[in-house]
C-alpha cells in the first residue's frame, strides 16, 4: 500500500516533460518542470514549507502562532496549506485589485483575508505591505515570512528544485530558464545547477518587458504578466547566478501560454508562457543543437487566469493576438 500521511508530503518531485509542438524548428530538447503539480498548485509550496520549518526552528513562529503575509496568491496558498496542517492561523493581506476568485481560494483553505487599497507606495501606512507588517507586530504570536527578503526561499530551491532537475535529467541539463519575481527560484536552482555542473549550466532569466531585471531603473513600464517581473530588485535575488536575461513582451507570453494549453496539454499561467517563449528565443538565437537540454520551470496553473489569458474578450480588449474564434457546433 502507498498511502501518504498528509497532502504536504507531496510537495516537490514534480516531473520534467518534453515539449513537442511549440518547439518546432528548435533542435535542442526543451523540457518543462511542471510546478502546478505541487499540492497547492505552484512552486510556492516549496518555499512556504521551508520558510515555516526555519521559523519554527528559530523560535520566530511558536505553536499557536499567526502567519501574516502580504501576497497576491501562490505564496498565500502555500502558506495557508502549511498553516492548516500545523495548526497556525494564517492571514493573507491582499490588494483590492486581486480578483475575488483568488481571495476565495485562500478562504477555502482556511486563511483569513484582509483587503487593502491597491496602487499605494509600499511605505504608505495603508499599503498591503505596511498593513501586514503592522498586523504581524500587533497580533500576539504574529510572524511575517516576507518572501522577498527571506533566504529560506532560494534555499528551498537550492535543496529541492535544483537537485530534482539534475537527478531527472541525469546530469545532462545544459540550460536552465525561469522567470524572476522574488528571484528565489532562479537564485536557488541556478546556484545549485552551476555548482553541481562545475559551471557548465547556463542560467537564463525570463522577464516581462518593462520590468526592472531587463529594463533597468528608468525604463520601467507596466506589464500584465503576473508573478514575474518587478519595479525594484528584491533582496533574495542574486544576479551573479544569472548569465543572461531575456525580455519577453506580454503578447508573446500570452500567445505561448495559450499554445501550451492547446498543443501540449499544459494549462499553465502567463509567467510559464513567458519562460517558454524566452527559452525558444534563446535556442533559436544561439542555434542550440541536439546535444543541448534546456529545462524551463513553469511556476503555476492556468486555472487562476481563466478570466484573463484564456478569455478571448479580455485578450482582444488588451490588443493581444492569437485569439482563436470559437467555432459553434454545426446546426443539425
Q: Pick from 70, 142, 181, 210 the residue near ligand PMP by CB under 6 A.
A: 181
Asked if 74 is part of the footprint of ligand PMP (rule: CB under 6 A), the reply reads yes
Near ligand PMP in 243-272, by CB under 6 A: 269, 271
Min dist. Cβ of residue 328 to ligand PMP (A) = 33
Q: Pick from 40, 41, 142, 184 the residue near ligand PMP by CB under 6 A.
A: 184
Contacts of 154 (CB under 8 A, 6+ apart): 183, 184, 185, 187, 188, 191, 236, 238
Asked if 183 is part of the footprint of ligand PMP (rule: CB under 6 A), the reply reads yes
Of 21-29, 221-229, 241-249, 323-331: span binding ligand PMP (CB under 6 A)? 221-229
Nearest to 43 by CA among 275, 251, 306, 283: 275
Of 3-11, 61-69, 174-182, 253-261: span binding ligand PMP (CB under 6 A)? 174-182
Asked if 180 is part of the footprint of ligand PMP (rule: CB under 6 A), the reply reads yes
Q: Pick from 179, 190, 208, 273 the residue near ligand PMP by CB under 6 A.
A: 179
Asked if 32 is part of the footprint of ligand PMP (rule: CB under 6 A), the reply reads no
Catalytic residue check, 44: yes
Min dist. Cβ of residue 330 to ligand PMP (A) = 38
Question: How many positions of this chain bind ligand PMP (CB under 6 A)?
Answer: 16
Nearer to ligand PMP, 202 or 253 (CB): 253
Q: Pick from 82, 173, 228, 294 the residue near ligand PMP by CB under 6 A.
A: 228
Interatomic CA distance for residues 270 and 273, integer angstroms: 5
Nearer to ligand PMP, 40 or 181 (CB): 181
Min dist. Cβ of residue 299 to ligand PMP (A) = 4
Asked if 300 is part of the footprint of ligand PMP (rule: CB under 6 A), the reply reads yes
Sheet holding 66-70, edge to edge: 112-116, 89-95, 66-70, 142-143
Nearer to ligand PMP, 65 or 258 (CB): 258
Q: Which of 44, 102, 194, 308 is catalytic?
A: 44
Min dist. Cβ of residue 183 to ligand PMP (A) = 5
Residues contributing to the site for ligand PMP (CB under 6 A): 42, 74, 179-185, 226-228, 269, 271, 299-300
Amino acid at each position: 500500500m502507498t498511502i501518504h500521511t498528509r497532502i504536504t508530503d507531496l510537495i516537490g518531485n514534480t516531473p520534467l516533460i518534453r515539449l513537442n509542438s511549440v518547439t518546432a524548428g528548435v533542435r535542442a530538447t526543451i523540457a518543462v518542470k511542471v510546478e502546478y503539480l505541487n499540492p497547492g498548485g505552484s512552486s510556492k509550496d516549496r518555499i512556504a514549507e521551508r520558510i515555516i520549518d526555519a521559523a519554527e526552528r528559530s523560535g520566530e513562529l511558536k505553536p499557536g502562532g499567526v502567519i501574516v503575509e502580504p501576497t497576491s496568491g501562490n505564496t498565500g496558498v502555500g502558506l495557508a496549506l502549511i498553516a492548516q496542517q500545523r495548526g497556525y492561523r494564517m492571514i493573507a493581506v491582499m490588494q483590492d485589485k486581486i480578483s475575488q476568485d483568488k481571495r476565495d481560494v485562500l478562504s477555502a483553505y482556511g486563511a483569513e483575508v484582509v483587503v487593502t487599497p491597491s496602487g499605494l507606495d509600499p511605505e504608505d501606512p495603508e499599503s498591503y505591505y505596511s498593513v501586514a507588517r503592522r498586523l504581524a507586530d500587533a497580533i500576539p504570536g504574529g510572524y511575517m515570512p516576507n518572501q522577498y527578503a527571506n533566504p529560506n526561499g532560494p534555499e528551498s530551491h537550492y535543496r529541492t528544485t535544483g537537485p530534482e532537475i539534475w537527478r531527472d535529467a541525469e546530469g545532462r541539463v545544459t540550460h536552465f530558464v525561469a522567470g524572476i519575481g522574488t528571484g528565489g527560484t532562479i537564485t536557488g536552482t541556478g546556484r545549485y545547477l552551476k555548482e553541481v555542473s562545475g559551471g557548465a549550466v547556463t542560467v537564463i532569466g525570463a522577464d516581462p518587458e518593462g520590468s526592472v531585471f531587463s529594463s533597468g531603473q528608468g525604463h520601467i513600464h507596466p506589464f500584465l504578466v503576473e508573478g514575474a517581473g518587478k519595479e525594484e530588485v528584491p533582496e533574495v535575488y542574486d544576479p551573479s547566478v544569472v548569465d543572461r536575461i531575456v525580455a519577453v513582451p506580454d503578447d508573446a507570453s500570452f500567445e505561448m501560454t495559450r499554445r501550451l494549453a492547446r498543443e501540449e496539454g499544459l494549462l499553465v499561467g502567463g509567467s510559464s508562457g513567458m519562460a517558454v517563449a524566452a527559452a525558444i528565443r534563446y535556442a533559436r538565437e544561439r542555434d542550440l543543437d541536439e546535444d543541448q537540454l534546456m529545462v524551463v520551470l513553469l511556476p503555476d496553473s492556468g486555472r487562476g487566469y481563466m478570466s484573463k489569458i484564456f478569455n478571448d474578450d479580455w485578450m482582444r480588449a488588451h490588443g493581444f493576438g492569437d485569439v482563436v474564434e470559437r467555432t459553434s457546433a454545426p446546426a443539425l
